[in-house]
Amino acid sequence: MAKDVKRAVRRQRREKPVGLNDLDVFINCPFDDTYKPIFNAIVYTVVRSGYRARCALETDDAAENRLFKIIKIVRECRFAVHDISRTAADGNPPLPRFNMPLELGLWLGARHLGGAEQQEKRCIVFDVEQYRFQRFISDIAGQDIHAHGSRIATLISELSAWLRHLPGGEHPGGGEAIMREYEQFEALLPGMCDDMNMTVGELKFTDFNQIVSEYVISLKQPPEPIAGDPAAAHA
Please give the pLDDT value at position 148: 94
pLDDT of residue 18: 54
| Spatial distance between the Cα atoms of 92 and 75, rounded to a whole number of angstroms | 35
Q: What single DSSP character describes residue 90?
A: B
Domain boundaries defined on the chain: 2-213
Predicted confidence (pLDDT) per residue in 25-36, tens digit: 999 999 999 999
Flag whether pLDDT at 43 surpasses 90. yes
CATH number for the 2-213 domain, one of 1.10.1240, 3.30.70, 3.40.50, 1.10.760?
3.40.50
In 46-98, beta strands by DSSP E: 52-54, 77-83
